[in-house]
Structure 1
Amino acid sequence: VPYLLRHKKDIPILGSTLTLAFLEAKLKEHRIAPLTHTVAAGQIERMGPFELEFVAVNHSIPDSLAVIIRSVAGTVLATGDFKMDQLPLDGRLTDLRAFAKIGEEGLDLFMVDSTNADVPGFTPLERDIGPVIENVIAKTPGRVVVASFSSHVHRVQQVIDAALANNRKVVFVGRSMVRNMTIAAELGFLKVPDGQIVDIRKAGNYPDNKLVFMSTGSQGEPMAVLSRMARQDHQIQIGPGDTVLLASSLIPGNENAVYRVIDGLTKIGANVVHKGNAKVHVSGHAAAGELLYCYNILKPKNVLPIHGEFRHLQANADLAIKTGVPVERTLLAQDGAVIDMADGICEIVGRVACDMLYVDGKTVGKITEDDLKDRRILAEEGFISIFVVVDKASGQIVEGPEIKARAYAEE
C-alpha cells in the first residue's frame, strides 16, 4: 500500500476500524497520510457509479469485511480473507444471512478466497488451539517464545489467556508486534488484564518461568526476531529448558527458511513446537466444505477464484463447477487479466501489462530483473577485481595489475 500511494496519493481507502488503524500506523512509518474512510458491517456507501455494502466475515484478524458491489453492470461479492468459524473467539460470525439475501437477489460475480480450497471439510475452530498453547506453557520449565503473524489478534489473545492461566507475564517482541497489539488493545479488540504485559526492557527482572515472549518471525524472515534468536543474535537468549512455539502455517515458498530457523533453535537446545508435531495453528481461510456451502446459498452466475496459488484457484473453480456453475462461467484469471461483465456474463477479454515492480529499500521500480540477476551471480559466485594504472599518453602500465578475489573459489 505505501508504494502504491507514492504513485497516486489520492486513492480513497475504505476499511473497518481495526484494519485502518493497522494501515495508518504502517503508513505513518512511510510518512504517508492516507485518504481513509471507516466503514462497518451493514453500512452502505456510494462511490461514483458503485454502491458498496459491507458484510461481516470471520477471519484470524478481527473486524474483517466482505464487500457487495452493485452497479448497472451487475452485482459482485468479494469475500476477502474469510472462514466460517461457528464459535469465534470474539463472537463475530460470518454473516450468512447477508450471503443468502444477496443470493436471492441474484449474484452476477462471486470473487472468493481460494487459500484452502484444496483442503476437504471445514476449517477447525480457532478456540481449539487455546488448550494446546496452555499445555505447552505449563510443561515448559524455562521461557516460552510464541511466534505468529503480528496481525493475528485472536492468536495473541489465546497466548495472553494461556500465560495468565500459568501465572506468566507476556512480553511483545518485534516492532510490528508491539505496534499492532498496542493498537488492538487500545481499540478493545485485544483484552489485556492490567499488569499482564511487560516491556522487553524490564523482562530481565522476572524469572524465566514467569514469562512468555510473543514475537514475529514465524515465516523465517532473516531479520525478524525469531531468526535472530536462532542465530543467538538477539537480547533474548534461547537455550535448554526453553520452548519455541510456531503458531502459524507455512506460507508456500518459506519452507526452507522456516526449517533453518527450527534447526538453529534445536541446535541451541530449545524444544520447538510447530504445526508438524502439535495442533498449534488453524487457518483463517475457508476450506472446501465452507466454500461449497457458500456456492449453494449464493448460486452465482459467474465465479472468479481469488487469493491463492494457481492450484488453489483451480481447486476453487472445481468446487464451483460441482455446484452447478458452468465451466465457461468459472474464470481462472491471473495478474493483469481484464474481465468484462455485461448482461450477467463475465469474460476475460484482454490483459494489462503488469510485470513485476521491485522494491529496493525506499525506491520502487528502479531495479530490473537484470540487476537482480547480477546480484545473484555476485552472491553465489563471488567477485574478482583487477586494478591497474595506465599512463594516458603512452598507454604503458605504470602500476599493477593488482588482482583481488572475494568469495571466489579458484577451481
Structure 2
Amino acid sequence: MAKEKLLVIPLGGLGEIGKNMTVFQYGEDIIVLDAGLSFPDDDMFGIDLVIPDMSYLIENKDKVKAVVITHGHEDHIGSLAYLLNEVNVPVYATKLVCGLIEGKLKENHITHYELNEVHHGDEFQIGAFKVGFIHTNHSIPDASAIFFKTPVGTVVHTGDFKIDQTPVDGLVMDIHKFAELGHRGVLLLMSDSTNAERPGYTESETIVGGAFRKAFTEAKGRIILATFASNISRIQQAINTAVQFKRKVAVFGRSMVNNVQIAIELGYLDVPQGVMIEPDEMNRYPADQILILTTGSQGEPMAGLSRMAANNHRSVSIILGDTVIISASPIPGNETSVGRTIDNLMKLGANVVAGKEKKIHVSGHASQEELKIMLNLVRPKFFIPVHGEYRMLKKHGEIAEMMGVKKDHILIGDNGQVFEFTNRSGKKAGHVNAGRVFVDGLGVGDVGNIVIRDRQQLAMEGMVIVVMTLAKGTCHPLAGPDIVSRGFVYVRDSEALMNEAHDKVAAVLERCEAGNIREWAVIKSQVRDTLSRYLFEKTRRRPMILPIIMEV
C-alpha cells in the first residue's frame, strides 16, 4: 500500500494579516491549527467580521479530530465559535487561552464543547499526529509554538512570536526545545512573517513600562490608556505603573472588562487589593488619581476611546488636562480611523501620547534577526512563511534562503494552497476553496461579494427607483412613471434632470408597446440601460437603478 502524504492547507493568514487557520491532514486524520478572524475593510459596508471559508473542513468533518490553538488573540481564536458550530471537535489550548475561548463560546451561545487545557512541554497523540506545545513570547501570555510529529517527519509552526529576553511575566521562550527538535530533524518550519521586512530585533515588552512611567510623571489630570483588550502584558504594566503613581484603575469596553476579569481569575494579572474601582466610583477621586483602561486603540467606531473622542461616551467626557495614551500601532487599513480619533481627542483638549518614537508600543512579532535565529535553531528541510501579506512572505523566504534553506524548498503560497509532503519531498499540489466569509449580524456567509458590491454602489452613487404602473398584458402606462431618488441628487434642486429622466423612461415604454414587448425582464432591462446612460451623461454618476412594474 502506498504511503500516505502529509497535506498542509492554509485556509487563512497567507497574503493577509488575520483570520489565521491551517489544516494538517494525514490519511483520514485532520488537525486544525487556530481559527481566527479579521476585521472588515472600510468599504465592506455593514460587515462585522471576516472569517475563513471553512467549506473544506465541513466537507471533511468526519476526518477532523481536533483544533489546537497557539494563543488568545482574535486573529487566532475569533472564528472558533463558527467552526465548532459546524464541526464540533475537541479544542486544545493553554490555560489563559482556554479562559478566553470559553468566554467567546458563551458569548456565541455555544454550550456543548470539549475544551482541553494543556501545558507547555506536553506531548499527546491525536490520530496520526503527536502534538506538542512550546512556550514562546508574544504580546499575550501563554503563547505557544506547536509541533506535529507525523509519519513523514516533524512540522514546527511558530505561531506569533518574538524572542524577548526580559518578558513581563519573566518566562522566556523555550529556545532549547526548538534546538532539540532541530537536532533531531525537522521536515517543515512554518514561521511568523509579520515583521519580516523589519531589520534587527524587536524590543522587549518591558521597554513600554519605562514609557508609561514617563507619561504618568508628566500627566497632570486623568490618564486614559487604550490598548488591545487581549494584550495582558501591556495591561499588567499599566496597572503596575498606576500602583506606583497611586492611581485607581477603572476599566471600560466590554472586551477589556471580560479579558481583565478572566486574566485576574486565572492568575495572569496581578492587581493589588483596592486598585480597581467601578466606573461609577471615579467621581470620588481627584482627576490626578485616576487611570482609565479602554478599548479603541484602532479607532473602531463603537469602541470606548472612539466614543470618548466623539463626545458620546456614556460615562467619560474628555476634558482639558486629560492625557490619552494610545499603546498600539495602527493595523494596516486603520490609519485613517486612528488619526481621526487622535484629532478629535486633541480638539476636546486632551494631550495625546502615541507613536513608536515614544516607545509607548512595541511589536509582539519577531524582526529579521530573530527570524534568522529561529531558522538556525530548527534547521528545517522545507520552509513555508506564514502570517503576513505577500511581500512579507517573500522577504521571509529570502531570509530563509540566506540561512541555508534550498531555494526550491521554500514554498510561498496563498490561502487554499495544498502543500504536499513525503519524508523526502515537498511541493504545491493544487487548491481547495479558501476565501472570505462575511459575518453581518447573525448572518454568516449570506452576504457575498455581489451584496458587498451593491452596498458599495449604494454608498458611493445612491439609488434611483422607477415605479411603472402598466395596463395588464401591455406596456401602456396607467400611472407614472414615478422616479424616486435616495442618495443620488437632492430632487428639489434637480427638477429638470428628474423631469427629463421621466421622459426617457416614458419613451422606453412607448418603444416597448410599439414593438409588442411584454416580458417584464426585457422592459426593466431597457429602462435600466436607458436611464443609466442618461444619468451618467448628465452627472458622471452611476446610481443603482431599480425598476419596479405594477400591473393593473
Q: What pairs up with 1:339-350 in 2 under 5 angstroms?
A: 339-350=419-430
Deviation (angstroms), 1:399: 7.4
* CA gap 1:354/1:130 in 2 versus in 1, 3 angstroms: same
Are 1:226 and 2:305 counterparts?
yes
Match of 2:97 in 1: 19
Q: 2:107 aligns with which of 4, 14, 29?
A: 29
Q: What pairs up with 1:34-183 in 2 under 5 angstroms?
A: 34-183=113-262
Deviation (angstroms), 1:365: 1.1
Deviation (angstroms), 1:289: 0.7
Are 1:405 and 2:486 counterparts?
yes
Are 1:332 and 2:412 counterparts?
yes
* CA gap 1:390/1:199 in 2 versus in 1, 3 angstroms: farther
Contact 1:77–1:109 (8 Å) recurs in 2? yes
Please tell me the residue identity of whatever aligns with 1:351: H
Please tell me the residue identity of whatever aligns with 2:460: E
* CA gap 1:203/1:386 in 2 versus in 1, 3 angstroms: farther
Contact 1:13–1:36 (8 Å) recurs in 2? yes
Deviation (angstroms), 1:80: 0.5
What value does the CA root-mean-square deviation take over the aligned residues? 1.8
Contact 1:74–1:344 (8 Å) recurs in 2? no
Q: What pairs up with 1:361-400 in 2 under 5 angstroms?
A: 361-386=441-466, 397=478
Match of 2:376 in 1: 296
Question: For 1:404 and 1:315, how far apart are their aligned partners in 2?
Answer: 50
Deviation (angstroms), 1:393: 9.2
Q: Deviations over 1:254-311 (max 9, x none)?
A: 1111111111112222111112551101111111111111111221111111111111
Question: For 1:267 and 1:259, how far apart are their aligned partners in 2?
Answer: 12
Question: For 1:388 and 1:269, how far apart are their aligned partners in 2?
Answer: 55
* CA gap 1:352/1:396 in 2 versus in 1, 3 angstroms: closer
Please tell me the residue identity of whatever aligns with 1:320: A
Q: What pairs up with 1:286-325 in 2 under 5 angstroms?
A: 286-325=366-405
Deviates more, 1:294-303 or 1:393-402: 393-402
SS in 1 for 2:308: helix
Are 1:272 and 2:272 counterparts?
no
Question: For 2:233 and 2:403, how far apart are their aligned partners in 1?
Answer: 33
SS in 2 for 1:358: strand
Please tell me the residue identity of whatever aligns with 2:89: I
SS in 1 for 2:197: coil
Deviation (angstroms), 1:202: 2.1
Question: For 1:270 and 1:114, how far apart are their aligned partners in 2?
Answer: 36
Q: List 4+ stretches of structure 1 deviating above 4 A.
A: 386-396
Question: For 2:312 and 2:159, how far apart are their aligned partners in 1?
Answer: 37
Question: For 2:468 and 2:244, how far apart are their aligned partners in 1?
Answer: 70
Normalised by the length of structure 2, the TM-score is 0.71
Question: For 2:451 and 2:139, how far apart are their aligned partners in 1?
Answer: 38
Match of 2:32 in 1: none
SS in 2 for 1:23: helix
Normalised by the length of structure 1, the TM-score is 0.95
SS in 2 for 1:103: helix
Contact 2:222–2:291 (8 Å) recurs in 1? yes
Number of residue pairs the alignment of both structures matches: 410
Please tell me the residue identity of whatever aligns with 1:62: P
Question: For 1:277 and 1:98, how far apart are their aligned partners in 2?
Answer: 35
SS in 1 for 2:228: coil
Contact 1:384–1:408 (8 Å) recurs in 2? no
Question: For 2:463 and 2:114, how far apart are their aligned partners in 1?
Answer: 47
SS in 2 for 1:154: helix
Deviation (angstroms), 1:6: 2.1
* CA gap 1:398/1:315 in 2 versus in 1, 3 angstroms: closer
How many percent of aligned residue pairs carry the same amino acid?
A: 39
Question: For 1:173 and 1:67, how far apart are their aligned partners in 2?
Answer: 34
Question: For 1:356 and 1:215, how far apart are their aligned partners in 2?
Answer: 30
Contact 1:169–1:212 (8 Å) recurs in 2? yes
Deviates more, 1:206-215 or 1:332-341: 206-215
Deviation (angstroms), 1:382: 2.4
Question: For 2:368 and 2:479, how far apart are their aligned partners in 1?
Answer: 74
Question: For 1:164 and 1:383, how far apart are their aligned partners in 2?
Answer: 56
